[in-house]
Amino acid sequence: MTPHGPDGRRLFVLTGESGAGKTTRCRALARTARAVGLRVGGITALEQAGPDGAERWVEDMGSGERRLLARQAPPGAIAAGEPRWELGEVALAWVSDILSGACPTDLLLVDEVGPVELLHRRGSLRGVERALAGHYRMAVVVVRPWLVPRFLQLFPTPEARVVGIREPWNSRLAETPASSGTRLRVVRIAPPATGE
């Protein structure tokens, strides 16, 4: 049974280790929601190789616009206890603005809420707060496993359900016919009622 908030909202905290497929699942969920005519808002992150190392990009799920959020710091520049990503303050402000204006929507994606927001109370935290206070039917918020308790402390929501991912995304599994004996659970989101 899926927990619902008093207004029918659903909040899922998606968690798993790096490479488990959290972002891939968020993007697949967005494609599925759009395919049935639902509104999608929020952001997803993409990590890719850049000329000087790994880069983390963020995509506005409403417009499709992408911006560089962070670059991985060179190994020699990382001191013990220091972040391994060099974050762009302008991009963080943009993410906060996107999240602040993401609602109303049917599906809200927040990929991800990390240490900058949850431990240092900076970054895009204001946007996360506004988005989760907004009107949505379902929200999926990506949080690293070790930060889930902190997220639940800062956002004490009775309808929150933590969903852990243990295996990398298998695109062939998503395309497996039901007759193959593979059991897949599909979460359906009802289309918005007229007048909403």
pLDDT tens digits for range 2-37: 444 456 789 999 999 888 889 999 999 999 999 999
- pTM to 2 decimal places: 0.79
| Chain mean pLDDT for the chain | 80
**Structural domains present in the chain:** 10-155 (3.40.50.300)
Neighbour order of strands in the sheet with 10-16: 85-87, 66-72, 53-60, 40-50, 105-113, 136-143, 10-16, 160-165
Q: 162 exposed, middle or buried (CB, 10 Å; 0-12, 13-18, 19+)?
A: middle
> Residue 20 has which token pair?
């488990």
DSSP for 101-167 reads T--SEEEEEEEEE-HHHHTTS-TTHHHHHHHHHS-EEEEEEEE-GGGHHHHHHHS--TTEEEEEE-S
Which range is least confidently modeled, 61-75, 88-102, 157-171?
A: 157-171
Token reading at 176:
């497996």
Per-residue model confidence (pLDDT) at position 173: 37
Helix or strand run (H / E) with residue 186: none
> Which of 166, 167, 44, 57 has the alpha carbon at shortest distance from 113?
44
Give the residue carrying structure tokens 């891939």. 24
DSSP per residue, 25-77:
HHHHHHHHHHHTT--EEEEEEEEEEETTEEEEEEEETTT--EEEEEEEPPGGG
Lowest pLDDT segment from 11-15, 33-37, 139-143, 168-172? 168-172
Distances (CA, A) of 58 to 46, 111, 143, 160: 6, 9, 15, 24
